[in-house]
Amino acid sequence: MIKLLIVDDSALMRRVMGQLFQEAGGYVVEFARDGVEALAKLHAFRPDVVTLDVQMPRMDGLRCLDRIMVERPCAVLMVSSLTADGADATLEALQLGAFDFVPKPDRTVSLALDELAPVLLDKVRAAAASRVPRSHRLAERLRARRAALPAFAPAPPPVIADHPTRPGDLAGAVIIGTSTGGPPALEAVLTALPGSFPWPVLVAQHMPAAFTASLARRLDTICALRVVEVAGPTPLHPGNVYVARGDADMTVSRRAAGPIVLPAPASPAHRWHPSVDRLVASAMAQLPPARLVGVLMTGMGNDGAASMAALRIAGGRTIAEAEETAVVWGMPGELVRMGGAEQVAPLDAIAARLMALAPV
């Protein structure tokens, strides 16, 4: 049985969510009206998972989350509105150690939860099965440890066969795919790359459209690299990070001057968006595979595993995040199981591996 604590100041939300999990079976459910009540129940009930509203009286979700992660860390799923303020608060919650988030209904609660029910159930089950996220203050810990990372010899120059050089071709490009637990993992990797990193970095992070602009802005303020959300056709340049817009896909295409990235409507052929598989496939169609490095990090499901396995077969390089650091070892674990991971590395070693493959 999964012990679930639902924290929300709305009696209707508590009732509807409680009914959802009680009907699903396999849950023992308790409720709290705000952060103060949640903390009072934290030690007595000892929940496996907490669903935590962001906006509440007396003690809001962020303050409550910070206390939970200090007093008795457990998997916390934030319930957040799809607004600019909600996006900023959600990203802050993920930095504090929240497992993941779900959007808060902005219309009739019972109807909206009917649509959200499969996602909510999946995420709570995954949260219950996960280890406590290691993302709290992760970037600071990684910066302190960076000097102790093992050195890796630079890879030999790739051999490009049957793929002629075209205008604007890049020396290389990195494609990163991630989902649950991704924002702190992205921060850890990208802040460890210098501004002189010679390749562009393309990022597909499963997120709603309201959140990816905030994610790109936050990363841009803390990274030496320039980070942008891709809102239209955008040329690829070294030392830039390109974040796919949420609820859509990002693809690599080509103009006369060279390769570009551009947003595309979410493909019904792919379950998760922005789709890692679609991004990798489009990059392989426009750039020599041997000049591409695919990195698959924490996340539920298997998005990116098939395309990155194909990339490795075609001569590209691939890195899967190791199980011991992934919040959820779904996506990278599937790449490993398919034999598509050339390297398996803990999160704090991925930036070093990228710098070895693309010497600055």
Q: Which residues are part of the catalytic machinery?
A: 179, 206, 303
Q: How many whole angstroms separate alpha carbon 323 and alpha carbon 297?
A: 10
Give the neighbor-by-neighbor strand order of the sheet with 234-235. Answer: 234-235, 258-265, 248-255
Q: Tell me the residue type at 342.
A: E
CB 188 within 8 A of CB 347: yes
Backbone angles phi, psi at 205, to 5 degrees: -115, 120
E strands within the chain? Answer: 2-7, 27-32, 49-53, 75-80, 100-103, 173-178, 201-205, 226-229, 234-235, 240-243, 248-255, 258-265, 292-296, 317-321, 343-345
Residues in the chain: 360
Q: How many whole angstroms separate alpha carbon 83 and alpha carbon 94?
A: 16
Alpha carbons within 13 angstroms on the beta-carbon side of residue 196 total 3
Helices and strands counted in the chain (H then E)? 12, 15
250 forms bridges with which residues in the sheet?
263
**Would you state the structure tokens that stand for residue 291, as one six-digit string?**
């000049």
Q: Which of 253, 277, 254, 273 is nearest to 265 (CA)?
A: 273
CB 259 within 8 A of CB 234: no
Alpha carbons within 13 angstroms on the beta-carbon side of residue 39 total 16
DSSP string spanning 329-346? BSHHHHHHHTT--SEEE-
**Would you state the structure tokens that stand for residue 280, as one six-digit string?**
């990798």
Sorted by sequence, the CB contacts under 8 Å of residue 311 that are 6+ apart come out as 280, 284, 289, 292, 294, 318, 340
